[in-house]
């Protein structure tokens, strides 16, 4: 076991915690500095989820993915900034201040894995781990101009990930090249009995950039209302490049897109309301006042510990699950979620992958999105993959107004290899 | 639509302490979002199909877990090997 020294000029506020020295060992990731999003537990290293409610918390165990990274020889050099508990699209909702986008420091890096994206895009680390509940790997990858992959649900263990919305979220790789995404997937994927949703489906693949004969579905809805025409045009050029390399394009429809965003936000807030009940100042984080009565103590602790967006989502989740409203919101959201899944199943019976933009616009300016609903709406193109549990990758495909644009490739469940191949084909064809 | 009183009630149910001054803002934003959620009323009727899931059980045998000291390491109020919590009564 050797150690590597790591000193950095964190001018983008990408990190919450950095380590001056990190252990590294033999293995496929030997000597490679890797950053880990701060909602993934690291034994002996503070893990805050960018929340004041976890200030001072030092996990007594490693997340399964962290154990895997260490076994592969990686040097974990720091914990990255994020939207508090993963709730946001800009990394502005962090108790540690926003992260800046290395492509344009007057703009957000996207979120919620904005710190990981900025750390990779600026060259501070070669790779990073992010988490993706509704686009939180792909959005910052697109905004910062790097590659980010959300694996098939169940392919990577969530053991040790601080839960926000269990049925939607996955840990995944972020890097500057598709080859590095593939290298990291090889280390991360596989069965872990400590995650009851873990599937025994290891990854041992070398990207094959041959797309001849591949059928690419292009849903109209991914180029519809709300998508900046300049972004759409850059993405169309990218898809045309794949066509010139031998792929066939098939335009299609995804009617469930009309309900996908509402279904997503009802589901994730419901799960958040329940998951975040554990933060009460008893077992970790700044203490609750044990002299006060129960509810008073918890309310005081949670008022001081949670940011506005987290409070809003906990309240929304509590409301949509409450007696009398469950049928109107949660039950219908699950019907809509099923329809999203069925739409994908129908499309994947005739096409191999689906392509579209990752985000409807380029990176926002700081403070540009002031109301939560318009922020939520910007997740419309990324949430369908989480609702269906399918793999989705974002690969840089050019610029609009000088800012990075991401091409999103989605595939059937467990076809992570296929979406990575298509991303590799685009990357190679674009000469990046 | 929810009223400020409803939001106050939800906040109490969720043990989220919110300040009086925040109530108006939270209520307005939550109503905007709930109005958007109304689109779910247009979802074509249908029962969510039962997912073909099976529970995964293991034999009830003792496995290794964290040591007591590690479990209590992050609390500010350990007492005789337990967590001290606010009083319930």
User: Using an 8 Å Cβ cutoff, are A352 and A215 in contact?
Assistant: yes
Question: What pLDDT score does B88 carry?
Answer: 83
Is the bond preceding residue A112 a cis peptide, omega within 30 degrees? yes
**How much of chain A, in percent, has pLDDT values that exceed 90?**
96
Helical (H) or strand (E) element with A66: helix A64-71
Closest to A116 in 3D by CA, of A65, A166, A67: A65
Question: What pLDDT score does A91 carry?
Answer: 98
Confidence of residue B58 (pLDDT cuts 50, 70, 90): confident
Contact list, A373 vs chain B (CB under 8 Å)? 29, 32-33, 36
Question: What pLDDT score does B47 carry?
Answer: 64
Q: How far is CA A253 from CA A281, A349, A360, A370, in A?
A: 48, 14, 17, 32
Strands A215-219 and A248-252: parallel
Nearest to B74 among A283, A308, A339 (CB): A283
Nearest to B16 among A289, A306, A329 (CB): A306
Contact B30 A316 (CB under 8 A): yes
Question: What pLDDT score does B51 carry?
Answer: 67
Strands A170-175 and A147-150: antiparallel
Mean pLDDT of A40-62: 97
Over residues A375-392, the pLDDT tens digits come to 999 999 999 999 999 999
Q: Which ranges in A285-414 belong to alpha helices (H)?
A: 294-305, 308-320, 332-348, 372-377, 383-388
Contact B37 A60 (CB under 8 A): no
Contact A372 B10 (CB under 8 A): no
Q: Pick the more confident residue, B63 or A407.
A: A407
**Over 70: is that where the pLDDT of B49 sits?**
no
**Over 70: is that where the pLDDT of A73 sits?**
yes
CATH architecture of A2-259+330-429: Alpha-Beta Complex (3.90)
For an interface test with A, the pick among B7, B23, B40 (most A C-beta atoms closer than 10 Å) comes out as B40
Confidence of residue B48 (pLDDT cuts 50, 70, 90): low
Mean pLDDT of A111-135: 98
Confidence of residue A4 (pLDDT cuts 50, 70, 90): confident
Confidence of residue A432 (pLDDT cuts 50, 70, 90): low
Q: How buried is A274 (Cβ within 10 angstroms: 0-12 exposed, 13-18 middle, 19+ buried)?
A: middle
Distance CA A103, CA A219 (A): 29
Contacts of A56 (CB under 8 A, 6+ apart): A46, A285, A286, B74
Closest to A332 in 3D by CA, of A407, A237, A254, A263: A263
Q: What is the DSSP track for B27-42?
A: HHHHHHHHHHHGGGGG
Domain segments of chain A as ranges: 2-259+330-429
For an interface test with B, the pick among A154, A319, A331 (most B C-beta atoms closer than 10 Å) comes out as A319
**Over 80: is that where the pLDDT of A219 sits?**
yes
Over residues A7-26, the pLDDT tens digits come to 888 999 999 999 989 999 99
User: Residue A424 corresponds to which tokens in the numbers above?
Assistant: 């590799």
Report field, pTM of the whole predicted structure over 0.95: yes
User: B63 to chain A nearest CA, in Å?
Assistant: 11
Give yes or no for A319 touching B (CB within 8 A): yes
Over residues A246-269, the pLDDT tens digits come to 999 999 999 999 999 999 999 999
Mean pLDDT of B2-30: 95
Give yes or no for A345 touching B (CB within 8 A): no
Angle at A402 between CA A396 and CA A405, to 5 degrees: 25
3-state helix, strand, coil in chain B (%, to 5): 45, 5, 50
Mean pLDDT of A180-195: 97
A323 three-class SS: coil
ipTM for the complex? 0.94
Give yes or no for A297 touching B (CB within 8 A): yes
Question: What pLDDT score does A130 carry?
Answer: 98
Confidence of residue B45 (pLDDT cuts 50, 70, 90): confident
Question: What pLDDT score does B11 carry?
Answer: 97
Distance CA A87, CA A317 (A): 13
């Amino acid at each position: 076991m050797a150690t590597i020294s790591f000193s950095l000029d964190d001018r983008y506020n990408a990190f919450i915690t950095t380590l001056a020295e990190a252990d590294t060992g033999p293995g496929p990731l030997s000597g490679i500095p890797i950053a880990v999003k701060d909602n993934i537990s690291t034994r002996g290293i503070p893990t805050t989820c960018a929340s004041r409610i976890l200030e001072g918390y030092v996990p007594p165990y490693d997340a399964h993915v962290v154990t895997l990274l260490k076994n592969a020889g990686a040097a974990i050099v720091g914990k990255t900034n994020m939207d508090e508990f993963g709730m946001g699209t800009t990394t502005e909702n962090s108790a540690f201040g926003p992260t800046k986008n290395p492509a344009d420091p007057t703009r957000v890096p996207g979120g919620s894995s904005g710190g990981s994206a900025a750390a990779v895009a600026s060259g501070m680390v070669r790779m990073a781990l992010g988490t993706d509940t509704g686009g939180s790997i792909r959005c910052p990858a697109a905004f910062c101009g790097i590659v980010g992959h959300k694996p098939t649900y169940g392919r990577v263990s969530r053991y040790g990930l601080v839960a926000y919305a269990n049925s939607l979220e996955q840990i995944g790789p972020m890097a500057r090249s598709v080859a590095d995404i593939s290298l990291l997937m090889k280390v991360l994927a596989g069965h872990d009995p400590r995650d009851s949703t873990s599937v025994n489906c290891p990854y041992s693949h070398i990207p094959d950039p041959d797309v001849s004969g591949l059928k690419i579905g292009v849903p109209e809805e991914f180029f519809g209302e709300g998508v900046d025409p300049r972004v759409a045009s850059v993405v169309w050029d990218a898809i045309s490049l794949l066509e010139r390399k031998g792929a066939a394009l098939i335009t299609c429809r995804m009617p469930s897109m009309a309900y996908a965003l509402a279904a997503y936000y009802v589901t994730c807030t419901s799960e958040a309301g329940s998951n975040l009940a554990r933060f009460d100042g008893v077992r970790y984080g700044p203490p609750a006042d044990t002299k006060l009565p129960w509810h008073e103590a918890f309310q005081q602790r949670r008022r001081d510990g949670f940011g506005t967006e987290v409070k809003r989502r906990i309240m929304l989740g509590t409301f949509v699950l409450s007696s009398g409203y469950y049928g109107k919101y949660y039950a219908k959201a699950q019907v809509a979620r099923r329809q999203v899944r069925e739409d994908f199943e129908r499309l994947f019976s005739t096409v191999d992958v689906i392509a579209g933009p990752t985000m409807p616009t380029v990176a926002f300016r700081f403070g540009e999105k002031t109301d939560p609903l318009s922020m939520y709406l910007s997740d419309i193109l990324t949430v369908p993959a989480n609702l269906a549990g399918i793999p989705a990758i974002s690969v840089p495909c050019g610029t609009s107004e000088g800012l990075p644009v991401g091409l999103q490739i989605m595939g059937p469940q467990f076809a992570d290899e296929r979406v990575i191949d298509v991303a590799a084909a685009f990357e190679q064809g674009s000469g990046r | 639509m929810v009223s400020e009183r409803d939001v106050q009630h939800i906040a109490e149910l969720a043990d989220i302490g919110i300040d009086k001054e925040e109530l108006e803002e939270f209520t307005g934003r939550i109503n905007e979002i709930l109005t958007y959620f109304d689109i779910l009323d247009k979802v074509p009727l249908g029962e969510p199909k039962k997912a073909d899931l099976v529970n995964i059980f293991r034999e009830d045998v003792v496995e290794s877990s964290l040591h007591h000291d590690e479990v209590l390491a992050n609390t500010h109020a350990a007492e005789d090997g337990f967590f001290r919590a606010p009083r319930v009564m």
